[in-house]
Amino acid sequence: MSSIKKAIFPIAGLGTRFLPATKSIPKEMLIVLDRPVIEWAVIEASKAGIEEMIFVISSNKNSVIEHFDRSEILENALKKKKKIDQIGLVQSQNQLGSFSFVIQDEPKGLGHAVWCARKFIGTNENFAVILPDDIILSKIPAIKQLMRVHLKTNGGSVLGLESVPKKEVSKYGVIKIKKRYENYFSISNLVEKPMYSQAPSNLTVVGRYLLNSKVFNYLSLQKKGYGNEIQLTDSLVQLTDKPGLYGIEFNGKRFDCGSKFGFIEANINFGLNDGDIKSNLKGMLRKL
Ligand code: G1P
């Protein structure tokens, strides 16, 4: 069993939940604290030992590519002004890993987006999928917590999970529990965005996945599911055979940065975690 070195970031979406902010700015480029949402997701992957970052993009996302490239003009200008600390700040993105890009030319769903990156993944290889809308504040990177379950289960596929109030299950993929272990579950089935009354549990899938390349067999069939889209959730049932499909309620706080509330919540929590602004921010919040 080899360690997981590649992550797919599906970021071709239009960001229609966050208009007008995302009319010309990709939603992944909205700023939480002092860096774009996508950088937080890539930092998480990099800290977990992932080396190859594969972005599934659409053609209007050039600013994402630029953000992970070096900017010699900026570096030279900062050098001239002797702003040495800031040079490191703008070079760090490029050092988080190697970057590849593949275009998803039609918005056919998350399963289709992941399938677009299939050429980057080998036969019987395990890889990560990270949805950067969900950013996670945690001591141990969330994807690393999934990797630990992958090792414990001798190479099982693993999903990040969160339990939500039952009335909210219809916004997510929902798992059916096969067995409960100390801090993780084995999964026998999943449903994408079920109605409250038909949900198999209140354990929902967060945007963190460790998957085996077997999922591409199903995704290649291009079968449409919920919302007439090719759903990643539907392909995951392929992974329930040995070594199996598992899920973990990771330690950490997740914020849905694709929504107004989640985005503000993320900014406040990342701010409270930042040494420079923490005490001012606390003071400001107390006065509200
Ligand atoms: C996607 C997945 C869903 C998952 C969610 C997590 O849905 O399809 O299974 O629970 O991400 O954020 P979306 O938010 O793209 O509708």
Q: What is the DSSP string of 217-275?
A: HHHTT----GGGS--HHHHGGGG-STT-EEEE--SSEEEETTSHHHHHHHHHHHHHT-T
Kind plus residue range of the DSSP H or E element containing 280:
helix 278-286
What's the CA-to-centroid distance between 140 and ligand 1, angstroms?
Answer: 22
Give the pLDDT confidence of 255-277 residue by residue, as tens digits. 999 889 999 999 999 999 999 99
Question: Between β-strands 157-163 and 245-248, what pairing exists: parallel, antiparallel or unpaired?
Answer: parallel
Q: Whose CA is closest to atom 15 on ligand 1?
A: 110
Q: Whose CA is closest to atom 10 on ligand 1?
A: 172
Residue to mutate, 130, 133, 172, 254, ligand 1, most ligand atoms under 8 Å from C-beta:
172
Phi first, then psi, for residue 55 (nearest 5°) are -100, 125
Report pLDDT for 13: 86
Q: Is the peptide bond before 20 cis (omega within 30 degrees of 0)?
A: yes
Report pLDDT for 1: 52
Superfamily per CATH, domain 6-287: Spore Coat Polysaccharide Biosynthesis Protein SpsA; Chain A (3.90.550.10)
Q: Check pocket membership of 199 for ligand 1, CB cut-off 6 A.
A: no
Residue ranges covered by each domain of the chain: 6-287
Q: Whose CA is closest to atom 14 on ligand 1?
A: 172
Nearest ligand 1 atom, CA 190: 9
Residue 156 gets the label, from left (phi > 0), alpha (psi -120 to 50) or beta, of beta
- pTM as predicted: 0.95
Average pLDDT of the chain is 95
What's the CA-to-centroid distance between 152 and ligand 1, angstroms?
Answer: 26
Q: In the predicted model, what is the mean pLDDT of residues 124-149?
A: 97
